[in-house]
Structures are given as C-alpha cells and as structure tokens.
Structure 1
Amino acid sequence: MATAERRFMMNGIVTFVQGLVGMKVFAELRGGTTAFGILLECDHFMNLRIRNAIILRARKAEKVEEFFVSGRHLR
C-alpha cells in the first residue's frame, strides 16, 4: 500500500469501519437503498463487502449471499 493511501486510511472514518469487520452492519446507499448484513471487508476507499445481506429497495426485501457496495454510493 502506498504511503499516501496508508495515511488516508489511518486518519478517518475508514479506520472505524474497518474495526467493524465481522459484525452486523447497516449501510444506507444513495437513492434510498439500504443493506444489512455481516461486514466482510472494507478497503481504504470505503468499498464494502457484506455477507448474508438483506437489501431493501422501495419496500421490497431481497436476500443475497454477498453484496458489494462502492464507497462512492454510501450516504
């Protein structure tokens, strides 16, 4: 990992979110979609991988084994 990336990762909310790996999380996305499940991974761009996710879109729930959220889509 580059020095600038490491510094960015250590000085923000990314560090907090990375501490939640293995725990149940709730992610709110732009457009009103929400995802609830177990956080597998969070990188320095806040990209999330969520396992056993329940995705709520327009009052419809969908269960998926794994869900990827790009950091730029988090609210």
Structure 2
Amino acid sequence: MIPDLKAEIRVYRQIEEITTLLELKIISPVVALRAVQLIDVESAPLAAHKRACFVDYLEALSDVWIQEKTASD
C-alpha cells in the first residue's frame, strides 16, 4: 500500500498542533490523549506509528499528571 502523502502530512500537523497546545499548557495530557486518539490514521500508515508512540508518551504523562493532581487535592 502506497501511503497518501496528503494524509501523512495532515496527521503530522495535527499531532504537532496537539504537542504545541500541550507544551503551552493550554490542554492537559488527558485531553491531548483523547484528541490524538481521534485522529484518523487509516490512510497514513507512516504517521500511524508516530501517533502510536505519542499515545504511549501521553498515557505515561497523564498517569504522572493525575498522580500529582491527586496528591495536591
């Protein structure tokens, strides 16, 4: 299967936008995780790997973030 270049670029841009919002603390790791999971990567197999890695990172980050919030409550 030949990857669709437009789809690949779209997915990469969406992931980068979510990353930027997360770094600026506009969204939480939990919200970022939900947003990334909604990205359609069916026609972008190369970007699917990047998304999978980012989801793993966000899951670990959200676990730490939730623990910090719980400890401060």
TM-score, length basis structure 2: 0.31
Identify, as 1 or 2, the structure richer in helix: 2
- Which structure has the larger Rg over C-alpha atoms? 2
Identify, as 1 or 2, the structure richer in strand: 1
Which structure's relative contact order is higher, taking Cα pairs within 8 Å and 6+ residues apart?
A: 2
